[in-house]
Amino acid sequence: MKKLVVWGLMGVMLASVAQPVLAQARQDMGSVRVTFAHAVAKAEPAVVNIYAARVNRATLAQEPGLKPLIPQDNRMMDRIAKSLGSGVIVKPEGVVVTNLHVIQGAQAIKVVLSDGREFAAKKVGQDEKLDLAVLQIERTSNERLPFASFGNSETLRVGDVVLAIGNPFGIGQSVSFGIVSAVERSAAALSPYARFIQTDAPINPGNSGGALVDSTGALVGVNSGIFSKSGASNGIGFAIPATLVKRVVEDITTTGYVVRPWFGAEGQAVTPSVAKELNMPSVTGVQLTGVLPGSPAFTAGLRRGDVILKLGGGTVENPADLNEQVLAMPNLLNKPTPLVYWRDGIRQETTVTLTAMPERNTGSQVLVKGYNPLSGVTVEELSPGLNTELNLPLSTKGVIVAGLPNEKLGAFDMPVKDGDLLMAINGSTIRTAADVQSALNSSRSEWELRIMRAGRVINLKTR
């Protein structure tokens, strides 16, 4: 009984002490206000809504209500399609960066600022590999426009706070909050040429091309896509790092095109048997199977059989990893880059100076003519730079489909797609653009095409 009384008294005493303490704690907590309003105020004026209008071609016979009134022919009509997205002003002169898919094929582009001002804009350049486009706002005066300052995306850490600013679902400019979930995340479905910032900040349709900013309001990424089956955010969003975006903007505004790094070697993943044969301590790296003469890899002294372990500080585990690291490092262009490799049972170090990727051999392009399945198609001969872009062996010779006609020509359905590698036509091996036209210069009731598409060999027959 005494124990109960004592404990009861202690409880009363503790309660009497705790009440003012808790009250003070509540008061202190109430005075704490966590806000990122300063970051939003700094970045939001530079984020714009983008409206793109494009003309789609449609047959009149396919228009509802018109079919009974017109002959079944190929007469065409125009249909206006509109899309919306977001963008970021990155220079006071009105330079805007956005996703290419937001304005792809647009005949008219309108940019709306957060203060309601509207401007026409034109595309000055694009980077298909990163899905980026650079626009120029057409100003009527030399007034300076609000612009975002680039941050250093390379210093981002998992757990850092980030804010996504854009125009989700077209409802108007909105801000969402999250953290960096991962850095240097591969997302081949978006682009194999970048390591993305992954965030759980909600990114929805309409946010594409918008800003991802840090807690200070600095631009650390351009929102590009989400991983979702429904099309709405489920906490897995991706942004192109500001380091890459800045390089693309500078390239396009300076030269009109994007310059990409090039390594000039290819290889295969190290297997357990290869690692054992080479006396390697672990099964990792890319063993070179070919080094193109005159390439950066060749100049660095690399040769067939060497195993690449690290490039620019990043670990190389497989060929895709090597390709991604090279193409995602434009900031290292023409600069000595550390490289670690394995040769003769010894871990060795050197530097490699990545140079600009060789230009495509556009001079070899040929427009296919005549009455055949490929009429109106533009073909182009492979080159080292193009092979690298298409992830083909550097020594591959052949011809790719470099362009399709805007409209179906003749009675043939188009059997090929842009980027297909033409291997053979009617049994004739294709190695040059001239081979294509030669193989098609005959009258036939059936055509046989052998192509490579996305790494798969496909045999097609068309009449």
Question: DSSP states of 296-307 as a string?
Answer: HHHHTT--TT-E
Last residue of a domain, one of 255, 276, 302: 255
Last residue of a domain, one of 196, 226, 255: 255
| Band of pLDDT at residue 336, cut at 50, 70 and 90 | very high
pLDDT at residue 461 is higher than 60:
yes
Transcribe 62-109 into DSSP letters.
GSTTTGGGS-SS--EEEEEEEEEEEEEEEETTTEEEEEHHHHTT-SEE
pLDDT at residue 155 is higher than 80:
yes
Q: What token pair was written down for 209?
A: 């091309």
> Rounded to an integer, what distance in angstroms lies between the CA atom of residue 128 and that of residue 419?
13
Question: The domain that contains 183 carries what CATH number?
Answer: 2.40.10.10
β-strands 314-315, 346-353: how paired? Answer: unpaired
Residue 11 lies in a domain: no
Q: How many domains does the chain have?
A: 4
pLDDT at residue 75 is higher than 50:
no
| Band of pLDDT at residue 364, cut at 50, 70 and 90 | confident
Instruction: Find the length of the chain.
Output: 463
**Interior CA angle at 392 toward 346 and 249, to 5°?**
90
Transcribe 105-125 into DSSP letters.
T-SEEEEE-TTS-EEEEEEEE
Same domain as 84, residue 66: yes
Same domain as 379, residue 342: no
pLDDT at residue 65 is higher than 50:
no
> Is 309 strand, coil or helix?
strand
Q: State CA 180 to chain mean position distance.
A: 18
Last residue of a domain, one of 214, 231, 255: 255
Share of the chain above pLDDT 90, in %: 43
**CA 193, 395, 343, 276 torsion-angle sign:** positive
pLDDT at position 48 is 95
Mean pLDDT of all residues in the chain?
A: 81
Give per-residue pLDDT as tens, 309-331: 999 878 998 887 787 778 766 66
pLDDT at position 424 is 92
Give per-residue pLDDT as tens, 370-404: 888 888 899 999 988 788 777 778 878 889 998 88
Question: Which structural domain, as residue segments, surrounds residue 444?
Answer: 362-462
Residue 205 lies in a domain: yes
Same domain as 320, residue 239: no
Give per-residue pLDDT as tens, 13-47: 434 444 554 455 455 545 567 788 999 999 999 99
Same domain as 182, residue 121: no
> Is 201 strand, coil or helix?
coil
Select from 175, 178, 195, 177 the least CA-distant residue to 187.
Answer: 195
Name the residues annotated as catalytic. Answer: 101, 131, 208
